[in-house]
């Protein structure tokens, strides 16, 4: 099915304040599509996790906040990219409770559970790209 | 070198002429100026021109890092900082310097118009100099804005974490806004200190005003609860709205070891009950007119 991007915004993630900015932009997009408060909170929380991952583990990066639409429905898609060290074992990184830092080890797997579609590409040494989508 | 002396000569010979033209230009954009504003601008312009004249004469280059330029830079620093505080835009401040170009170029043309090389050199020096000074005002403007922002951040840190006493032995900590780590540190510290000071047995952390509870926020909350527990106080979390509850479940955060309640009132009731208090409604008084 063809997916159209109705609105797109790129936000840099290089400081902790940028994470707040990302959350606000994601909430704006979700509200513009008429997301209910629960769905808003889910996608905003997922964005907060992934933005912090990009900052803490990827050394900073960017997020593309998109409002997308296909034939039947619309949603918010977020694509996080960083040029950090990458993730050597994605399956391990997606395991609840595993962390290479000192967080709870639930951010990546939690973000996956909070969204309808989840994709991750990572190459050790060249960076990580995480894409999530939540339909209305 | 020689052309810069040309610049200094022009400043010296035609100071009054440049000053009056410049002043005209500063008010040329049609805005109405009160007589006091006009006098103020006139004084400011003459002061700046005379500082500029002295510096070009003494230094002889357009490198504004030299020590002779300090008075000029100090003047611009005061001006920019003042403008920034009054809410002027950086371009408004910079145009104070840039608007000097036209009268200076005109004066240079009158002096050296017949000698194209000398005129060209002098114009180049003047442009370089005024560009540097104009950019300096923008930099200073930016810096003074930044200092205002960081001061406000500090003020918010202090304001946003009050610990309130609800009852003997019962404290509440109403959290509002983003729980980034710098603030959370202060929150933890304040709460733990207040527990010791008031010898409280119960602390209620209310997160009604926290828009997003992600894993970092959850981790901070759990750490605070654990620390309070180590000090012998029971910690309850209230203000868990439906959307937060659902999100926490999906995240996989385990809050089962913590007493959580939907509202601060509920948590307060639990704390009262656990500490042996009971709230009784006087039926006779409740029905009676006041």
Q: What is the mean pLDDT of residues A44-65?
A: 95
Nearest CA in chain A to B179: A20
Residue pLDDT, tens place only, A107-127:
999 999 999 999 999 999 999
Q: What is the mean pLDDT of residues A18-24?
A: 92
- Category of A14 on φ-ψ map: left (φ > 0), alpha (ψ -120 to 50) or beta: alpha
CATH code for the domain defined by B2-152: 1.10.490
Question: What's the CA gap between B51 and B58, in Å, rounded?
Answer: 11
Which CATH number belongs to the domain containing residue A36 in this structure? 3.30.565.10
Q: How close is the nearest chain A Cα to the Cα of B219, in Å?
A: 7
Model confidence at A133, pLDDT cuts 50, 70, 90, reads: very high
Interface of A with B (CB under 8 A): 16, 20, 23, 37-38, 40-42, 44-45, 48-49, 52, 96, 103-104, 106-107, 109-110, 113-114
Q: What is the mean pLDDT of residues A94-111?
A: 90
Quick check: B2 pLDDT over 60?
A: no
CATH code for the domain defined by B164-283: 3.30.750.24
Quick check: B5 pLDDT over 90?
A: no
Model confidence at B201, pLDDT cuts 50, 70, 90, reads: very high
In B, which residues are within 8 Å of A40 by CB distance?
Answer: 243
Q: Give the residue range(s) of CATH 3.30.750.24 domains in chain B.
A: 164-283
Please, which residues 250-269 of chain B have a Cβ atom closer than 8 Å to chain A? 250-253
Structurally, how many domains does chain A consist of?
1
Question: What's the CA gap between B54 and B69, in Å, rounded?
Answer: 9
Do A45 and B251 lie within an 8 Å CB cutoff?
yes
**Which residues, including other chains, have CB under 8 Å from residue A64's CB and lie 6 or more apart?**
A8, A9, A10, A77, A78, A79, A81
Give A72's DSSP letter.
Answer: S
Q: How close is the nearest chain A Cα to the Cα of B231, in Å?
A: 23
Residues in chain B: 290
Strand order from edge to edge, sheet including A127-135: A4-13, A61-69, A74-82, A127-135, A117-123
Quick check: B32 pLDDT over 70?
A: no
Q: B125-133 long-range CB contacts below 8 Å, 24 or more apart?
A: B125/B3, B125/B4, B125/B6, B125/B7, B125/B62, B126/B7, B126/B101, B127/B101, B128/B62, B129/B7, B129/B56, B129/B62, B129/B64, B130/B97, B130/B98, B130/B100, B130/B101, B130/B104, B132/B62, B132/B64, B133/B64, B133/B72, B133/B76, B133/B97
Q: What is the mean pLDDT of residues B253-266?
A: 92
Contact A48, A107 (CB under 8 A): no
Prediction ipTM score = 0.84
Q: How high does pLDDT run on average in chain B? A: 85
For A78-99, give one letter per residue: b (16+ CB within 10 A) or e: bbbbbebbbbeeeeebeeeeee
Q: Give the residue range(s) of CATH 1.10.490 domains in chain B.
A: 2-152
Residue pLDDT, tens place only, B79-106:
888 887 777 888 888 888 898 999 999 9
Question: Domain residues for A112?
Answer: 4-135
Question: What's the CA gap between B14 and B102, in Å, rounded?
Answer: 14
């Amino acid at each position: 099915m063809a997916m159209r991007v109705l609105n797109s915004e790129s936000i840099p993630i290089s400081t902790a304040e940028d994470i707040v900015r990302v959350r606000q932009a994601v909430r704006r997009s979700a509200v513009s599509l008429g997301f209910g408060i629960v769905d808003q909170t889910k996608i905003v929380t997922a964005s907060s996790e992934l933005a912090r991952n990009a900052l803490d583990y990827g050394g900073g990066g960017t997020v593309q906040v998109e409002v997308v639409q296909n034939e039947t429905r619309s949603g918010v898609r977020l694509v996080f990219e960083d040029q950090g060290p990458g993730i050597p074992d994605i399956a391990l990184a997606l395991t609840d409770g595993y962390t290479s830092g000192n967080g709870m080890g639930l951010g990546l797997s939690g973000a996956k559970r909070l969204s309808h579609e989840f994709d991750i590409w990572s190459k050790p040494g060249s960076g990580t790209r995480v894409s999530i989508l939540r339909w209305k | 070198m020689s052309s810069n002396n040309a610049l200094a000569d022009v400043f010296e010979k035609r100071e009054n002429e440049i000053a009056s033209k410049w002043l005209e230009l500063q008010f040329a954009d049609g805005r109405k100026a009160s007589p006091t504003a006009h006098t103020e601008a006139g004084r400011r312009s003459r002061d700046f021109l005379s500082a500029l004249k002295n510096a070009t004469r003494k230094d002889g280059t357009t490198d504004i890092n030299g020590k002779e330029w300090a008075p000029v830079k100090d003047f611009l620093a005061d001006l920019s900082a003042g403008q920034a505080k009054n809410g002027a835009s950086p371009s408004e401040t910079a145009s104070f310097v840039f608007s000097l170009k036209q009268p200076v170029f005109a004066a240079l043309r009158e002096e050296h118009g017949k000698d194209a090389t000398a005129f060209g050199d002098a114009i180049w020096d003047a442009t370089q100099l005024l560009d540097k000074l104009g950019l300096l005002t923008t930099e200073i403007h930016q810096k003074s804005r930044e200092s205002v922002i960081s001061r406000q951040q500090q003020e918010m840190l202090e304001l946003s974490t009050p610990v309130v006493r609800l009852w003997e032995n019962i404290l509440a900590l109403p959290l509002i806004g983003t729980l980034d780590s710098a603030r959370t540190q202060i929150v933890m510290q304040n709460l733990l200190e207040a527990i010791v000071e008031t010898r409280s047995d119960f602390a209620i952390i209310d997160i009604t005003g926290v828009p997003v509870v992600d894993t970092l926020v959850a981790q901070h909350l759990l750490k605070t609860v654990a620390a309070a527990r180590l000090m012998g106080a029971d910690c309850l979390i209230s203000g868990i709205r439906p959307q937060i509850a659902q999100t926490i479940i999906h995240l996989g955060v385990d809050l089962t070891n913590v007493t959580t309640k939907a509202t601060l009132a509920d948590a307060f009731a639990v704390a009262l009950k656990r500490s042996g208090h009971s709230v009784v409604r006087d039926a006779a008084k409740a029905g009676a007119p006041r």
